[in-house]
Amino acid sequence: MTPFSFNNIAKALNEMKEKLEEEQNALQEGEDVFNKFGIQITKTRLKGGIGYQINYGERGRYIQVLSKDMNNLMKAMKTAMDAK
Protein backbone atom coordinates (compact mmCIF):
# COMPACT_ATOMS: atom_id res chain seq x y z
CA MET A 1 0.00 0.00 0.00
CA THR A 2 1.21 3.49 -0.82
CA PRO A 3 2.05 5.53 2.30
CA PHE A 4 -0.37 8.32 3.18
CA SER A 5 0.57 11.85 2.20
CA PHE A 6 -1.25 15.09 1.45
CA ASN A 7 0.42 15.10 -1.98
CA ASN A 8 -1.31 11.82 -2.89
CA ILE A 9 -4.72 13.10 -1.77
CA ALA A 10 -4.26 16.38 -3.65
CA LYS A 11 -3.16 14.50 -6.77
CA ALA A 12 -6.16 12.17 -6.48
CA LEU A 13 -8.59 15.08 -6.00
CA ASN A 14 -7.19 16.94 -9.00
CA GLU A 15 -7.41 13.86 -11.23
CA MET A 16 -10.97 13.22 -10.06
CA LYS A 17 -11.96 16.85 -10.77
CA GLU A 18 -10.51 16.64 -14.29
CA LYS A 19 -12.29 13.36 -14.95
CA LEU A 20 -15.64 14.74 -13.75
CA GLU A 21 -15.27 17.89 -15.84
CA GLU A 22 -14.53 15.82 -18.96
CA GLU A 23 -17.38 13.36 -18.55
CA GLN A 24 -20.24 15.71 -17.49
CA ASN A 25 -22.44 12.60 -17.46
CA ALA A 26 -24.48 11.65 -14.41
CA LEU A 27 -22.67 8.90 -12.51
CA GLN A 28 -24.48 6.06 -10.79
CA GLU A 29 -24.78 6.26 -7.01
CA GLY A 30 -21.99 4.34 -5.30
CA GLU A 31 -19.81 4.42 -8.42
CA ASP A 32 -16.04 4.51 -8.02
CA VAL A 33 -14.64 7.56 -9.80
CA PHE A 34 -10.96 7.21 -8.80
CA ASN A 35 -8.72 4.42 -7.53
CA LYS A 36 -4.95 5.15 -7.57
CA PHE A 37 -2.12 5.94 -5.15
CA GLY A 38 -3.83 3.98 -2.36
CA ILE A 39 -6.83 6.34 -2.52
CA GLN A 40 -10.31 5.35 -3.62
CA ILE A 41 -13.00 7.97 -4.30
CA THR A 42 -16.63 6.92 -4.63
CA LYS A 43 -19.62 9.07 -5.57
CA THR A 44 -22.44 8.35 -3.15
CA ARG A 45 -25.56 9.73 -1.52
CA LEU A 46 -24.84 11.55 1.75
CA LYS A 47 -27.18 13.19 4.28
CA GLY A 48 -26.88 16.61 2.63
CA GLY A 49 -27.08 15.35 -0.97
CA ILE A 50 -24.71 13.77 -3.47
CA GLY A 51 -21.08 13.71 -2.43
CA TYR A 52 -17.88 11.71 -2.36
CA GLN A 53 -16.34 9.28 0.07
CA ILE A 54 -12.54 9.35 -0.01
CA ASN A 55 -10.95 6.17 1.38
CA TYR A 56 -7.24 6.38 2.17
CA GLY A 57 -4.45 4.89 4.26
CA GLU A 58 -5.24 2.05 6.59
CA ARG A 59 -8.50 0.20 6.23
CA GLY A 60 -11.47 2.15 7.56
CA ARG A 61 -10.02 5.64 7.14
CA TYR A 62 -12.22 7.90 5.08
CA ILE A 63 -13.77 11.33 4.78
CA GLN A 64 -17.09 12.25 3.19
CA VAL A 65 -17.51 15.51 1.30
CA LEU A 66 -20.59 16.95 -0.38
CA SER A 67 -20.15 17.82 -4.06
CA LYS A 68 -20.76 21.50 -3.30
CA ASP A 69 -17.83 21.49 -0.82
CA MET A 70 -15.28 19.71 -3.06
CA ASN A 71 -13.63 22.92 -4.38
CA ASN A 72 -13.21 24.23 -0.82
CA LEU A 73 -11.62 20.91 0.21
CA MET A 74 -9.14 21.11 -2.68
CA LYS A 75 -8.22 24.70 -1.77
CA ALA A 76 -7.77 23.69 1.89
CA MET A 77 -5.56 20.75 0.91
CA LYS A 78 -3.38 23.00 -1.26
CA THR A 79 -3.06 25.52 1.58
CA ALA A 80 -2.11 22.74 4.02
CA MET A 81 0.50 21.38 1.59
CA ASP A 82 2.04 24.84 1.06
CA ALA A 83 2.18 25.67 4.80
CA LYS A 84 5.59 25.44 6.39
pLDDT by residue (tens digit) across 6-32? 788 888 888 887 777 665 455 556 888
Count the domains in the chain: 1
* Cβ count within 10 A of residue 39: 21
Residue 11 lies in a domain: yes
Which residue range forms the structural domain that includes residue 67? 6-74
Give the pTM.
0.63
Instruction: Calculate mean pLDDT across residues 40-57.
Output: 90
Please provide the DSSP assignment of 2-51 as one string. Answer: PPP-HHHHHHHHHHHHHHHHHH-SPPPTTEEEEEETTEEEEEEEETTEEE
Residue 24 lies in a domain: yes
Residue 38 lies in a domain: yes
Asked if residue 61 lies in contact with residue 43, where contact means CB atoms within 8 angstroms, the answer is: no
Residue 66 lies in a domain: yes
Residue 69 lies in a domain: yes
